[in-house]
């Protein structure tokens, strides 16, 4: 693929697969996050994150076909997400993004989105 969407510019599906896989490797090392995730289906969780990010950045809409409208705040309502969880999530994602080493302008655009999205997911005033 050439030109076009951000999805294509950063390397397509393989890039998002690597980000999601690396993110969940980091989650496994993160005591604040790991208990929140389905212990028997971390690979499934990684795939859902991959497909969501692909769709968000202009790739295929497989996420929507399989899961429906993202409604991410609603889907996160069962988990207590405060400042500490947000920051742990962002640390795991920062490491995952470092592992693919996007061009600086692409890295910046994606990181700004991640910071905003993670803050949006907070659902408790507690730390
Ligand atoms: C799902 C935690 C932020 C995207 C989940 C799940 C947990 C979780 C426990 C369920 C795992 C599964 O079965 O898929 C958290 C925590 C966050 C956070 C603690 C702290 C900020 C985010 C952000 C995004 C995101 C910022 C997107 C940029 C997703 C997606 C799913 C998911 C796409 C799968 C939804 C589905 O079921 O289709 N998250 N999350 N999460 N999360 Fe997060």
Q: Measured in angstroms, how far is the CA atom of residue 49 from the centroid of ligand 1?
A: 7
Structural domain of 85:
6-120
With respect to residue 36, please indicate whether it lies within any of the assigned structural domains.
Answer: yes
Looking at the 3D structure of the chain, how many domains does it have?
1
Residue 116 has pLDDT above 90, yes or no: yes
What is residue 126's predicted lDDT score, i.e. its pLDDT? Answer: 76
The CATH number assigned to the domain holding 15 equals 1.10.490.10
Q: How confident is the model at residue 127 (pLDDT cuts 50, 70, 90)?
A: low
Q: Measured in angstroms, how far is the CA atom of residue 48 from the centroid of ligand 1?
A: 9
Q: Give tens-digit pLDDT for 19-67.
A: 999 999 999 999 999 999 999 999 999 999 999 999 999 999 999 999 9
With respect to residue 71, please indicate whether it lies within any of the assigned structural domains.
Answer: yes
- Give whole-number Cα distances, 46 to 33, 62, 79, 81, in Å: 14, 14, 17, 19
With respect to residue 18, please indicate whether it lies within any of the assigned structural domains.
Answer: yes
What is residue 8's predicted lDDT score, i.e. its pLDDT? Answer: 97
Tokens of 92: 């795991």
Mutate which of 35, 39, 62, 89 for ligand 1 pocket (most atoms within 8 A of beta carbon): 89
């Amino acid at each position: 693929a050439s030109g076009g969407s951000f999805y294509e510019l950063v390397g397509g599906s393989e890039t998002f697969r690597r980000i999601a896989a690396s993110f969940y490797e980091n989650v496994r090392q993160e005591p604040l996050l790991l208990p929140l995730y389905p212990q028997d289906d971390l690979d499934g969780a990684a795939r859902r994150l991959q497909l969501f990010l692909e769709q968000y950045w202009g790739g295929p809409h497989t996420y929507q076909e399989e899961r429906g409208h993202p409604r991410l705040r609603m889907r996160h309502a069962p988990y207590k997400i405060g400042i500490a969880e947000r920051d742990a999530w962002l640390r795991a994602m920062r490491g995952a993004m470092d592992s693919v080493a996007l061009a600086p302008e692409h890295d910046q655009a994606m990181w700004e989105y991640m910071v905003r999205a993670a803050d949006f997911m907070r659902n408790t005033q507690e730390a």
